[in-house]
Structure 1
Amino acid sequence: MTAIREAFGTLDDGSAIEAVTLSNRGGITARILTLGATLQSLHVPDREGLSADIVLGHDSAAEYLTANCFFGATIGRFANRIAGGSFRIDGRDYRIPPNDGPNALHSGAGGFHTRIWSIEHIETGPPARAIFRYHSPDGEQGFPGNLTVAASYTLDDDDRLTLEYTAVSDAPTIVSITHHSYFNLAGAASEHGALDARLTLYADSFTPIDRMMIPTGAIQAVEGTPFDFRAPIAIGARVRNGDDEQIRLARGYDHNMVLNGESGTLRPAARMDDPRSGRIVAISTTAPGMQFYSGNSLDGNVRGKQGKFYRQGDGVAFEPQHFPDSPNQPAFPGARLDPGETYRNVICFAFSSNCG
């Protein structure tokens, strides 16, 4: 196993970006950038042993800031949407700069995905590991408290890539950190999109949204809806079901799935397999929910790796996190972090392949 540190170019302001590439005996390699603690590439073998990069992204560091698609990024301080860009803690109102109509999405335009993280530690293992750190000062993007965040990427010889996010604060605040890779198990450069993959979601319910993409506060059973992935089915089978209001509102899937089992424990969240390549990814997490996103905003105008323009459905994202807008929704699991506490979110991607 190896962990190699190297330069990855510069931003327009001259800031240097580095990368750490982890590799294991099974032929998996993962490259993580200091910009946004971003997973820039993830090469995984198929059933024939042929390797391909299975995550969408860019070839240069600067493109990650101009495209603003969150490819592979660490998202924080608060992932997903906050209604009106505002929330209250202990009777005091806080406001995050809106960047999604009236709402704040992924903490606004200056979230963790735009920040340069430091490399705190790398090791060849086994397992191979890289730990990135960022200090978010009190008031950054409108959030209270000095927040110290660590993002750990670990690749082991069981073909598991495990991400662990931790954070501590010196004042009451809200925290929900997640990972935002868009996956295409057929290969990010493939002519085939991600919607042919078969998906299982370990969620009996989801949180429906309103016209502004904010949860209504209800928790709805998936049974009898296009959100029922409890048994494997192709992602594209119902993604354009115009008879379903929730699909119409999001122009596909862009919803929080309420994961089965106890929050805080590592448990299954999703399993996706690609019939062409045979690649399989099983996702587990400690988070209470997971945003399932079918890449609806990819419209062919975003230039990605190897000059490919990404279209709707070219990649799908699985974002384990607190429920969207949970600071404003008392019935949802709380996202408050107080001094003396440690926020923690573990996300594990386990890769394998089938025989066809």
Structure 2
Amino acid sequence: MKRRTSFLLLISTVLLYAFVHQKTGIEQSVFGKMPDGREVGLFTLRNAKGMEVKITNYGGYIVSCTVPDRAGKPENVVLGLGTLADYLKGTPSLGPIIGRYGNRIAHGKFTLDGTDYTLFTNPSGIHIHGGKVGFDKKLWDATPVDGAEPALKLQYTSPDGEENYPGTLNVNVTYTLQKDNALRIDYKATTDKATVVNLTNHAYFNLSGMKADVMNNVVMIKADKVLATDKTQVPTGEIRPVAGTPFDFTKPTPIGAHINDTTDTQIRYGKGYDHCWVFTDQSAKLKLGATVFEPTSGRLMEVYTTEPGVQLYTANNLNGSVRSPEGIAYTRRFALCLETQHFPDSPNHPNFPTTTLRPGATYLSTTVYKFKVQK
């Protein structure tokens, strides 16, 4: 029995060594084809510390993100799907680039420079995540960059009037796998006509390696205020202090501590957490905005961003109808999103940081998801 245990331990050690010391850099494979025949790529980025990220240029989806736990065991920590066909069916935004405008715009309407614009709205009467055919449903031009910090550069040109947004928007998004087990996302955009832009990524994180929901995840958000919303979860314009409310994550707090406090109107509106926190530091410098710690695995994720806010969403609407490639059902509160961004519905709230982009100016935004372990 001892000999068998020793043999299994040796095999595990060899496999772990092989994973950590496998070829670093970026590899490209065929993920499938679009209905019109265009080929879609799957790009695998690896570093020397055991982190691996798979990204497709269809929608810029993060298909998987594999990082070690405290014992050194690598596991995927991002909700993804197995095939391009699965993504083409439509997903609950499982890790794509969101644009032109991340999050919500009330009634799908805004006015810019005296001109009224009407966008696509969902059954709730709001415009969300870029519209009917947002950036998550586009095939982006991809340029892989090999090296010690492999990167994938994605480019898409959104024509004037697409989804009824004004201006031809030229967008570049670069995913870089850094040496210190961090995934950096750089966004850049220019326009030929005044428009509104709010780009983000909608990755769902499950730091347990898909073994449990996120209710025991300990979250810290460096934000002393949060945006109040109406019943459709569109901001009312009120910026509320988090002190003394279920939204206070200024100190590390388990997600499950107050998520079911339905005496709070905002919790009822969101069916849990689905709100935009306002960072105490509103500067455009790259700063620590939030952390998530999963006690069982020991994984710690730090989120750095240049953005003024972050939307914490606790997967309140997942219902198990979508499954992982291994057959794991993605159920309610099985993951969480930390969508770094400007505020939802900013075009309709002059007191919010502006999301207007004009010709001659450049939209720039950076977010870094850095993974560590705690013993």
**TM-score bucket of the superposed structures, by smaller chain:** over 0.9
Indicate which of 49, 56, 76 corresponds to 1:26: 49
- Structure 2 residue 254 is the aligned partner of structure 1 residue 231: no
> Highest Rg: 1 or 2?
2
Q: Tell me by how many angstroms 1:304 deviates.
A: 3.0
1:56 and 1:305 in contact (8 A); partners too: no
1:42 and 1:55 in contact (8 A); partners too: yes
The residue aligned with 1:268 is 288
2:50 and 2:68 in contact (8 A); partners too: yes
- Structure 2 residue 264 is the aligned partner of structure 1 residue 241: no
Secondary structure of the 2:88 match is helix
The residue aligned with 1:165 is 187
- The one-letter code of the counterpart of 1:340 is G
Q: Tell me by how many angstroms 1:262 deviates.
A: 3.0
Normalised by the length of structure 2, the TM-score is 0.92
Within 1, Cα distance between the matches of 2:141 and 2:35? Answer: 19
1:64 and 1:70 in contact (8 A); partners too: no
Structure 1, 299-308 or 201-210: larger mean CA deviation: 299-308
Deviation digits for residues 113-147 of structure 1, max 9, x if unmatched?
A: 0000011x322222111101011001000101111
Within 1, Cα distance between the matches of 2:327 and 2:195? Answer: 41
Percent identity reads: 38
- The one-letter code of the counterpart of 1:284 is Y
The residue aligned with 1:98 is 121
Within 1, Cα distance between the matches of 2:31 and 2:285? Answer: 36
The residue aligned with 2:348 is 328
Secondary structure of the 2:320 match is strand
The residue aligned with 1:186 is 208
Within 2, Cα distance between the matches of 1:209 and 1:54? Answer: 30
1:27 and 1:45 in contact (8 A); partners too: yes
Alignment of structure 1 residues 1-356 onto 2, 5 Å:
1-119=24-142, 121-188=143-210, 190=211, 192-355=212-375
The residue aligned with 2:14 is none
Within 1, Cα distance between the matches of 2:299 and 2:261? Answer: 27
Q: Unmatched 5+ residue regions in structure 2?
A: 1-23
Deviation digits for residues 316-338 of structure 1, max 9, x if unmatched?
A: 00001110000011111100000
After superposition, the Cα gap between the structure-2 partners of 1:26 and 1:100, relative to the gap in structure 1 and judged at 3 Å, is: farther
Within 1, Cα distance between the matches of 2:119 and 2:82? Answer: 30
Q: CA RMSD in A?
A: 1.1
After superposition, the Cα gap between the structure-2 partners of 1:13 and 1:195, relative to the gap in structure 1 and judged at 3 Å, is: farther
Within 2, Cα distance between the matches of 1:291 and 1:263? Answer: 17
- The one-letter code of the counterpart of 2:352 is F
Within 1, Cα distance between the matches of 2:325 and 2:245? Answer: 35
Within 1, Cα distance between the matches of 2:45 and 2:111? Answer: 41
Runs of 4+ in 1 over 3 A off after TM superposition: 11-15
- The one-letter code of the counterpart of 1:282 is E
Deviation digits for residues 50-91 of structure 1, max 9, x if unmatched?
A: 011100011111222324311110000000000000111111
